[in-house]
Structure 1
Amino acid sequence: MLIWLKRLFWFGLFLVALGIAGISAFYFALENSLPDVTSLRDAKFETPMRVYSADGALIAEYGEMRRIPLKINEIPQPMIDAFLSIEDARFYEHPGIDPIGIMRAGVVWLTTGQMRQGASTITQQVARNFFLSREKTILRKIKEVFLAWHIEKELSKDEILELYLNKIPLGYRAFGVGAAAQVYYGKPVDQLTLGQIAVIAGLPKAPSMLNPIRSPQRAEARRNVVLGRMLELGKITREQYDAAKMEPVATRYHGADIMLNAAYVGEMARKFMVDRYGDEAYTKGFNVYTTITAKLQKAADDAVFRGLLDYDLRHGYRGAEKRLWQAKEPAWTTDRIYEYLNDLSSSDPFEPAVVTRIRDKQADVVIKGGLEGSINWDGMKWARPFITDERQGTAPRRAADILHVGDLIWVWPEDDTSLRLVQIPEVNAAFVALDPQNGAIQALVGGFSFEQSKFNRVDQAKRQAGSNIKPFIYSAAFNSGFTLASLVNDAPINQWDTASGTAWSPKNSPPVYDGPITLREALARSKNVVSVRLLRSVGIGKLMDHLRQFGFDVKPEQRNEALALGAIEVSPMEMATGYAAIANSGYKVTPHIITKVEDTNGTTLFEAKAPVACPSCSNTVTPDPATASALPAAPADPTAAPLAPQIISHANAFLVSEAMHSAIFGGKDRGMQGSWLGTGWRAARELKRQDIAGKTGTTNEAKDAWFSGFNSKLVATTWVGFDDHRRKLGRSIAGNEYGASAAQPIWIEFMKIALANTPEAPVPRPDDVVEVRIDNVSGMLSTPEDSNSRVEYFQKGSEPTLANPGNDTLFGEGGSSEPGTSTDDIF
């Protein structure tokens, strides 16, 4: 018997040695194919790209994986205890391998032929998550064991646990506990309750089936298992266990903690990053900083929202989205209404609602989210019936004239106590504000709602410019010898077109003609026929070249006199860039929205060096449009930004801005019988500052409305119109919709915020522009004693030299008799 026991012992020892030898041989066979675990010391997690405003407000987050990497000391101890209790209670004791678990998995495999048992330690899970697939094969399991041994030799336990808690998938594209806390509860890990921690700790087993959003009941059961293990291991007390079990489980999905609504800006940044870095833009954790600031972006967003809503309300109520039940049908229950509404999308800040009761001048509604409320008369009395863009019906007298029980409508909770009946505007808008000195975009809104339309009307839409193009025509005229005081005949034009057999008769709007009029007044009052006469005098070829200097894409087929009335398609971004050259004394800046890009360590990978306007650097205008975009030599300092090309002289820019200043503030009649208003007079009334200049713009049939304006520090352009080019802006109970009524209010509301508490910053007057007192009617030289005189600006050499009759003493005997500016050829 003893002999057999000895033989059995030696046979067992032989088998153990044979097993060790086999494992060793297998290890050496696989060694060269195993990954280098030392790379874990520099592990780079796939983290999303984040886009920020210039002042650090989060605008957007892009990437398939949500991850917020944390250091081990940033993770609360209860979170660590929960994961270790349910996943690997002996983590800090074992060498990375759990022999009992491996033997159990092996027995299952031998008896069933399938790998149903995992029994992996946290170290093994790190090996699998970083280096291996999740397929259940014996070869993968063996590799996992070997890699775990290697990892335990190279890294400390805390380093391994940190990798695990940042890498593990936890459902809803959340990877790691930091992201899971944000996705499921909308807060950082150090603010989670014990019950919430246990829910997250229970997710690794089956993230899609056990998460509290998809299956609260399964999540609760799994949470209780985690809490039970923590109690069993002494990680929590009975009181903590009981309290955590009583916590509600159900939650909702939380997106990124967006601080600033600027979706169109975020999309522009995303496209920039993908163009520059490809698909890595979504996984390398780039931090992208834009040029916009939260204050100005919010002001722009609010202004566009208010402007479009006001336009929409002026044109009447188009009716309910649909009627859910008819008058003779049984009314839906409140629960059924809640269920229906919760499946609908909101359109921030509007919410869908269903009318449940109509009273005399009030309507009771159920709102998405399980709320009930009432729309009072002040919140619905605007709702005249919409008939066409040109017509509205009679004013309603009671709620039943507007709404019916069962109507699916939109409401706007203006404050905590009142609801307003609204509708999603069909009209749209674009708004962009730039720093004219370097082209940095200060605020941008590409439409009413990014959720409804991703189309960015600021840089993707091309619309007819209308009268917004006129300042550039006047700029060309100043280059051709005209002055602010030049008189041009504001009289009807009739030109026979032999090709079409019709007469071309451009009209003023309104169709009022004042005879000889100065260029200052003509631009300020947007006289169409004067623009046509200027085009004829300058020459259409020279004018087209001049427009190209500003960046406008003037095509050969647009070589006709309608160009003077804005028959050219431009984007709002191009328009704002053109106006920036007037605001910055003549330089073509490049609009840009990215200031810098940083990696996850804060290292700057990209930094914008946009060309800057520099009025003090030179006064040499690039004469050839083909070379207008070429940059001058960079300043001596290699770290300084390059210089923007100068496309018009300082004097030219100043004179144009002066005429646009009069479009805001008006002027006196030449006969001193009164005064006239410019088309942008509302800005003077609302903003109450003297440094602003601007120009309205309305196209033929009012399909596009524009307003562009500036001081030397800020330029902004607004466009309003329908995406359907066939629709006109029409007429409302308040009158016709023009640039001054549809687009300018948005610009004004933005500027109220943007310019508040800022010093006035007019376009500076250059040294070669002089002040000369002239007669208000003739434009000839005059004296201060002449009550019908005023001071005007002229570029040196262009000022008048003739005295007004009766003022010969101004020059003495032999005074000049030559006219300063002759415009007889265009009268």
Structure 2
Amino acid sequence: MKYLKTVLLVGFVAALLGSVTLTGIYFYMKPDLPSVAILKDVRLQTPMRIYTHDGKLISQYGVKRRIPVTLDETPELLQKAILATEDSRFYKHFGIDPIGITRAFINLVLTGEKSQGASTLTQQLARGFFLTREKTYIRKIKEVFIALHMEAELSKDEIFELYLNKIELGHRSFGFGAAAQVYYGKKLNELSLAQIATLAGLPQAPSVLNPISRPERSLERRRIVLLRMLDEGFITKAQFNEANSAPVTAKKHGAEIELDAPYLADLIYSEMVNLYGKEEAETGGYQVYATASSTLQQAAQHAVKQNLHDYDERHGYRGAVARLWPLQANNDNAAKGEAKAEEECAAQPLYVNWPCDIDENDVNDALANIGAYGFVRPVVVTSVDEKTFITRDSAGTERTIEWQGMDWARPYIHDSRQGQPPDTASDIVAAGDIVYIREQDDLWRLAQLPDASGALVALDPNNGAVQAIVGGYSFYESQFNRATQAKRQVGSNIKPFVYSAALENGYTIASVINDAPINEWDEATGVAWRPQNSPAEYDGPIRMRIALGKSKNVVSVRLLRGVGLDNTIEHLTRFGLDKADISRDETVSLGSSSHTPLEVVRGMATIANGGFLIQPYFIDRVLDENGRMLWQHTPSLACDNVDCDEARQQAFAESSGAANAEADAEADVEAMLAAELNQSVQSEPENTPLAPRVISAQNAFLVADMMRTAVRVNGSWTDWRGTGWRASLILKRDDLAGKTGTTNDSRDAWFSGFNRKLVATAWVGFDDMNRQLGRTTYNQPLAARDPERFSWIGNAMIGTESGAMAAQPAWIRFMQTALNDVPEAPMPVPADIVRVRIDRTSGKLTRRTDDTTLFEYFLRGTQPTVYVLDDELDDSTGEDKTNVDVDDIF
């Protein structure tokens, strides 16, 4: 009894001292413990994801890869695997497990080593959130206090769900949703039992147990997980045997990118960083939806890349990217013969007539150093026959390049000169060459990385929503976005704005201007200024409509003189062009000013939408990580107060519909939250802001109608054609308007065009502004294979590069997709526009009704009042006859 009292007394004193000690430690550490608010509002640092308007993932930003999942979305087998392996008593203990602690303490006493852990899931979560992995007593004590704190504030399911999403699992994946994507490229519900067991074994040591870096260790850890599941009765013996014998199938997967659109994604990323800061943007779990749809964005990217290949190929082949050995070795090997080659090398040659010291590793290393961009991929030429050659890529895949895939490859001499067409494959390539190839129309072709650059921007002219944007051939080769950053001389793309200024200052579409050479002495420079037409042809007196259609340079200069330089510059700024970028001399009428494609397309949108200056934007809406609407863009609409009701209602319906369609894809609860929040952040239709009117509806209509002439074949095929005539010919639509643009010495080529619903601008040029786009000569093999298309589209066109030849094909290819099955949307005729019959030559009224006359549009009060006299009539003219049918041309 005496000893029992002593033991009880000692126990009481020890317990009291322990309690006092723990209380003291608690108050000492209390300032370092997380607050209740932090525990209940845990941020998972989810990466930002960027989607197209229709929900295709185009990019993901953030160092930590995380795909949040709820407990309900987590397969039951995975939950059981984690609990069996990490904390089988999770739902029974209070944050710490006394049984586990006792087991670890006994092991420490017996071995003197901290080889066994006793951490519960709650403790692991506490350590992951707030502590480090260092094995110290003070850290362990903090871990216990935080775990108890978490258990007091959160439910078991909340803690387990946080664990599923927070735990680090290797290769920058955090949470099991991200790990399933990183290791297997799957969603959690698509994993096999073997894959589930592999992931469940990662939390202990993700750097050394993951199946990519340490597959052997991962297999052993998987076996332990499966045994624990078997012991707990979660799986059967048959399931254990099948999963235990399964091979390692893990390999590193990137984000599930559905459409690679890096130029668009980078613009949106930069805007999000400006709004939220880099850290918050990359970890806040934002789901950002672009204004561009996947269909139009993909069409724009394909159009730019294919157009640059067409340009590049018609200028000739620049030769192999690299060689695996000196060219002379081919002849040496052939002379020695295979037997002698074997005597001189221990290894067999990889291919016949190859140097025998070139092995597979040499090939793969060489190909890896080249890199793949855009459409092209590097390969090595393994053998060459008369009209074919065989290639091998880094994966060992062999492809045969047929003659029709290489007959374009005339030698490149310089940008304006090409050599003779090749006769055989050996004129082009040799064994050991490293070349690029690409696939087009189910045919593998010899290719090269384009030297020239290009850009394309498409907008909805009625609200400024960017429908597609491409800033170059490959973002991974050059991150410079030419669509938004490259200020280039716009050439004749400026003329619609100059003609708009003329209409504002007393001119009409039928005004006759003298298309004759200008030769003016400049006393300041001591040099005569002689602006010339391109080509240098002059028609004498010519109506404004025809002058714009033919892009007459001297007429543009004379119009500027009639309006005045200051008035013209002021008018150009109405289209959103920065005054600082506008040349303050008469060359501005020819496009000497430099602007980006985005600035140009914005100006063109003002003509397309009836006179309103819209603001381009890239982001449609931003959602949080749970799919709830945080913000939605409310664009300024291109309409007047009196006729905006329909446009407002349509914009409101489209934005609400997009949010609701998204919500339908989520769980019902999330759908309700998204819909409710959407209603709160949307502007009501009547409060939708309006874009400012900068030119009159009549002015915009008349300019657009003149621009229709620029994209037509006017009269019979032997009569004149607008500089952009291919647009109507190929697209076969009557609602298109457009304008080509070519600068001096063909350094920049442009085409801008639109209908009432869509406006797009394409640009081609070299990043080196001193380099000319050059010219091409007749390519007989291409002409023989495709005689109908020769000289009017693709890599068969000939002559000096221009807006119509270098840039317009990209615009046409894009519009072929964008306008497919879309009803025509011609410009509506505004009030106070009248139509009268005039004489084609003089622009005066006429009483004739034959083909020397036409009906022309005028602003009421500006129509001609004088009739043409008989001696002024020209019966030979046929300039503006009705369009011919495309089928009648060839």
TM-score (norm 1): 0.90
1:564 lines up with 2:564 in the alignment? no
Distance 1:184 1:761 in 2: 49
Q: Secondary structure at the match of 1:547?
A: helix
Distance 1:783 1:744 in 2: 39
- The alpha-carbon distance between structure 1 residues 339 and 529, as it changes in their structure 2 partners (threshold 3 A), is closer
Correspondence for 1:512: 537
Correspondence for 1:667: 714
Q: Secondary structure at the match of 2:536?
A: coil
Q: Which amino acid aligns with 2:295?
A: K
Q: Secondary structure at the match of 2:739?
A: strand
From 645, 648, 657, give the equivalent of 2:692: 645
Q: CA deviation at 1:218?
A: 2.8
Correspondence for 1:435: 460
From 552, 569, 584, give the equivalent of 1:527: 552
Q: CA deviation at 1:114?
A: 8.1
Q: Secondary structure at the match of 2:422?
A: coil
CA contact (8 A) 1:342 1:369 kept: no
Distance 1:498 1:111 in 2: 103
From 686, 710, 715, give the equivalent of 2:759: 715
- The alpha-carbon distance between structure 1 residues 378 and 786, as it changes in their structure 2 partners (threshold 3 A), is closer
Correspondence for 1:814: none
Q: Which amino acid aligns with 1:384?
A: R
From 723, 731, 737, give the equivalent of 1:679: 723
Distance 2:870 2:423 in 1: 67
Distance 1:239 1:382 in 2: 62
CA contact (8 A) 2:324 2:366 kept: no
Deviates more, 1:22-31 or 1:72-81: 22-31
1:700-779 equivalence runs, <5 A: 700-733=744-777, 734-779=798-843
Deviations 1:762-781 (A, max 9, x none): 12211211111111222221
Distance 2:870 2:410 in 1: 62
From 503, 507, 517, give the equivalent of 1:492: 517
Q: Which amino acid aligns with 1:362?
A: T
CA contact (8 A) 1:38 1:154 kept: no
Q: Secondary structure at the match of 1:355?
A: strand
Q: Secondary structure at the match of 1:767?
A: coil
1:255-654 equivalence runs, <5 A: 255-278=254-277, 279-326=279-326, 327=329, 328=332, 329-330=355-356, 332-334=358-360, 336-338=362-364, 341=367, 345-414=371-440, 418-555=443-580, 558-615=583-640, 617=642, 640-654=687-701
Stretches of structure 1 that go unaligned for 5 or more consecutive residues are 620-635, 809-827
CA contact (8 A) 1:63 1:282 kept: yes
CA contact (8 A) 2:835 2:858 kept: yes
Q: Which amino acid aligns with 2:703?
A: V
From 838, 860, 872, give the equivalent of 1:796: 860
1:202 lines up with 2:201 in the alignment? yes
Q: Secondary structure at the match of 1:605?
A: strand
Distance 2:814 2:599 in 1: 19
Correspondence for 1:81: 80
1:210-289 equivalence runs, <5 A: 210-278=209-277, 279-289=279-289
Q: CA deviation at 1:447?
A: 0.9
1:162 lines up with 2:161 in the alignment? yes
- The alpha-carbon distance between structure 1 residues 786 and 686, as it changes in their structure 2 partners (threshold 3 A), is closer
- The alpha-carbon distance between structure 1 residues 3 and 675, as it changes in their structure 2 partners (threshold 3 A), is same
- The alpha-carbon distance between structure 1 residues 666 and 795, as it changes in their structure 2 partners (threshold 3 A), is farther
CA contact (8 A) 1:213 1:250 kept: no
Distance 2:228 2:105 in 1: 25
Q: Secondary structure at the match of 1:403?
A: coil
CA contact (8 A) 1:554 1:568 kept: no
Distance 1:248 1:148 in 2: 38
- The alpha-carbon distance between structure 1 residues 642 and 9, as it changes in their structure 2 partners (threshold 3 A), is closer
Identity %: 51
Deviations 1:554-610 (A, max 9, x none): 338822111111100010011001111111111111111112222224433322222
Distance 1:66 1:556 in 2: 43
Aligned length: 787
Distance 1:674 1:3 in 2: 127
Distance 2:173 2:281 in 1: 18
Distance 2:687 2:522 in 1: 54
Q: Secondary structure at the match of 2:631?
A: strand
Deviates more, 1:250-259 or 1:139-148: 250-259
- The alpha-carbon distance between structure 1 residues 339 and 224, as it changes in their structure 2 partners (threshold 3 A), is farther
Q: Which amino acid aligns with 1:724?
A: D
Distance 2:871 2:543 in 1: 21
Deviations 1:7-37 (A, max 9, x none): 4565455434543443344335545653235
Q: Secondary structure at the match of 1:665?
A: coil
Distance 1:566 1:54 in 2: 35
Deviates more, 1:147-156 or 1:467-476: 147-156
Deviations 1:457-500 (A, max 9, x none): 11111000101101111111111111111111111111112222
Distance 1:98 1:151 in 2: 14
Distance 1:451 1:171 in 2: 26
CA contact (8 A) 1:216 1:250 kept: no
Correspondence for 1:171: 170
Q: Secondary structure at the match of 2:472?
A: coil
Correspondence for 2:186: 187
Deviates more, 1:21-30 or 1:398-407: 21-30
Deviations 1:275-329 (A, max 9, x none): 1111311111112122111121111111111111111111111112211123253
Q: Which amino acid aligns with 1:441?
A: V
Distance 1:309 1:454 in 2: 19
CA contact (8 A) 1:82 1:197 kept: yes
- The alpha-carbon distance between structure 1 residues 116 and 396, as it changes in their structure 2 partners (threshold 3 A), is same
Q: Secondary structure at the match of 1:426?
A: coil
Q: Which amino acid aligns with 1:647?
A: V
Distance 1:539 1:113 in 2: 95
Distance 2:756 2:708 in 1: 12
Correspondence for 2:665: none
Q: Secondary structure at the match of 2:381?
A: strand
Deviates more, 1:646-655 or 1:341-350: 341-350
Distance 1:557 1:234 in 2: 78
Distance 2:582 2:593 in 1: 10
Deviates more, 1:534-543 or 1:140-149: 140-149
Q: CA deviation at 1:637?
A: 6.7
Distance 1:787 1:233 in 2: 94
Distance 1:348 1:693 in 2: 31
Correspondence for 2:790: none
Distance 1:5 1:343 in 2: 81
Q: CA deviation at 1:516?
A: 0.6
Q: Secondary structure at the match of 1:573?
A: helix
Stretches of structure 2 that go unaligned for 5 or more consecutive residues are 333-354, 645-682, 778-797, 873-890
